[in-house]
Amino acid sequence: MRVLAVVMTTTLLLAACGAPAPASVPSGASRTVRIDMSDFFFSPTTVNLDPGETVTLMLKNFGTLEHEFMAGRDAIYGQGYDDDWLAKAKAGSGAGPDMGHRGENVRIAPNTTVTITLVVPAGVGQFEFGCFVPGHYEAGMKGILLVGTGGGANSPTTAPRTSPPAPIASAMPMTNMGGDDEGH
């Protein structure tokens, strides 16, 4: 009984003095989000993240063609994003050569998986992710990245697939080249 009282008193004193939490308590949110890609789509098409969270993006290419992952705002066809979210997140692990693109890009060969770990930048809002291999973005290979909208670290980790996602029936029509896809 006396040992229990000493342990409880010591624990209360340490907590009152602002001692760090035990090592077994995680210090920050961390999770893995899987994004599958094929010829010419991403799945899921919407990804929710929280500012400040550490996230590992697992990019799996089920397609027969090389694809890439870029994220930002103000798409420039064939080049990437003028406002580069991925560069702000300082993602670089697994990134391929620039290939004349604007901003950070991650190249993923057919039937391969690339992972990048990043800390989500502080800015909130809606961004876009897309593939700027010539013709892919124009064929509709893009998705939405929502940052700080309440569905990030608290949402479940994306479960791995046992088979590739179903292909889309037809390519989406081209939209506003300025990146303002309001209403789409």
Spatial separation of the C-alpha atoms in residues 45 and 50, rounded to whole Å = 17
Q: Where are the alpha helices (DSSP H) in 32-104?
A: 85-88
pLDDT above 90 (res 57): yes
Residue 142: how many CA atoms within 13 Å on its side-chain side?
A: 29
Backbone dihedral angles phi then psi of residue 22, each to the nearest 5 degrees: -60, 155
25-52 confidence digits (pLDDT tens):
233 458 999 999 999 999 999 999 999 9
145-176 confidence digits (pLDDT tens):
999 976 655 444 444 333 444 443 333 333 33
Domains defined along the chain, listed by start = 28-147 (2.60.40.420)
Confidence (pLDDT) at 151: 61
The pTM of the whole model exceeds 0.75:
no
Spatial separation of the C-alpha atoms in residues 134 and 149, rounded to whole Å = 32
Tell me the sheet residues that pair with 112: 61
Spatial separation of the C-alpha atoms in residues 111 and 98, rounded to whole Å = 21
3-state helix, strand, coil in the chain (%, to 5): 10, 35, 55
Report the pLDDT averaged over residues 115-143: 94
Token look-up 């800015």 returns 123
Integer angstrom CA distances of residue 60 from 38, 64, 165: 9, 12, 11
